[in-house]
Amino acid sequence: MKPKLEARDICYSYHTTDGETPALSHISFSVPAGEFLAVVGPSGCGKSTLLSLLCGLLEPEEGSVLIDGVPIAQSGQAIGYMLQKDHLFEWRTIYGNVSLGLEIQKKLNRDSGVRLRQMLAAYGLKGFEHSRPSELSGGMRQRAALIRTLALKPDLLLLDEPFSALDYQTRLSVCDDISSLIRESGKTAVLITHDLSEAISTADRVIVLSSRPASVKAVFPLTFGKEYKSPLKRRNAPEFSGYFDQLWRTLKEGPETE
C-alpha cells in the first residue's frame, strides 16, 4: 500500500533581497495511513516551512510531496490544519465557527449539520452551540477548532504547534484530549513541535531535524505498553524518560546543531 504522505528528497530555500536562506535540505520520509508522526527540531530550523510544503502552500525547489502516491498539486485530497492560534471568529457563534468550512464549500446541509451537532456533543461542547468563542476556555476553543477541521473530513491532519498558545497545565490536558480524539478518528497526522515531551507522549514515531537547513537527523519509533494509551499516561510510562534522553541527545549532538 502507498503511504498516505511521502516527502521525497525535498529542498527549499527562501530568496530575499538580502540573499538566499536555505531552509530544508534533502528531506525524505513517509507516513503510513493512520500513523501519528511528530517532527521536532531546534527553533528556526525549518519546521513550519516543512509543514507549508507538506500542505502544498509552498512548492519544493527539488523533490516532491506525494499523497497516496500522487503529487500533492494533483491529489485533490482534503488536508486539515490546526495551528498555534485557533482562529475562531468572535462574531460567529461556536456552531457558526465549526460550520464555516462546510458553509464556504456549500456542503452545509441537514446531514452535515446533524454530524456537526454530534461532534459538538461527543467533544464536550453540547450546550455551547450559541456561545461566542470568548465564553469558552482555551481547551474548549481548541476542541471547537478541531471540529471545524474534522468537519471537512480531511484524510490528513497537519498540526503546527497547536497547543503552544495554552498555559502549561491546560496544554497537557488539551494535548491529551485532542490527540486521543485524533487517534480515535483514525486520521493520519503530522505534528510539528519543539516540545520533546509532547512529541513522545503523542506520536507513533518522531523525526528529529537538524538545525537550518533542516535535514532528517534521526527517526525514533516509539512503543509503549498497552496500559499507556493516552498522552498523559505515556508521560508516566517507564519508557518515557529513555526516549526523552535519546531525543535530547540527538538534538544536541553533531556539529550542525545549535
Question: Using CB under 6 A as the criterion, which residues of the chain lie in contact with ligand ADP when the complex forms?
Answer: 14, 16, 21, 23, 41, 43-49, 212
CB of 10 to ligand ADP, least distance (A): 13
Q: Please, which residue, 27 or 120, has the CB nearer to ligand ADP? A: 27
Q: Please, which residue, 43 or 134, has the CB nearer to ligand ADP? A: 43
CB of 217 to ligand ADP, least distance (A): 13
CB of 254 to ligand ADP, least distance (A): 17
Question: What distance in Å separates the CA atoms of residue 186 and residue 177, rounded to the nearest whole number?
Answer: 15
CB of 155 to ligand ADP, least distance (A): 24
Beta strand pairing call for 5-16 and 79-82: unpaired
Q: Please, which residue, 89 or 248, has the CB nearer to ligand ADP? A: 248
Nearest to 149 by CA among 119, 172, 192: 119
Beta strand pairing call for 36-40 and 205-209: parallel
Q: Please, which residue, 82 or 94, has the CB nearer to ligand ADP? A: 82
94, 120 Cβ separation under 8 angstroms: yes
Q: Please, which residue, 59 or 103, has the CB nearer to ligand ADP? A: 59
DSSP string, 85-121: S----TTS-HHHHHTHHHHHTT--SHHHHHHHHHHHH
Q: Please, which residue, 49 or 188, has the CB nearer to ligand ADP? A: 49
Q: Please, which residue, 25 or 142, has the CB nearer to ligand ADP? A: 25
Question: What distance in Å separates the CA atoms of residue 137 and residue 115, rounded to the nearest whole number?
Answer: 23
Tell me the CA end-to-end span of the chain in Å, nearest whole number. 38
Angle between the N-to-C axes of helices 138-150 and 168-185, in degrees from 0 to 180, rounded to the nearest 10: 20
Question: What distance in Å separates the CA atoms of residue 97 and residue 104, rounded to the nearest whole number?
Answer: 11
CB of 27 to ligand ADP, least distance (A): 12
Within 8 A by CB and 6+ apart from 167, the residues are 138
CB of 98 to ligand ADP, least distance (A): 27
CB of 109 to ligand ADP, least distance (A): 38
In the chain, what's the furthest Cα-to-Cα distance? 58
Per DSSP, the three-state class of 161 is coil
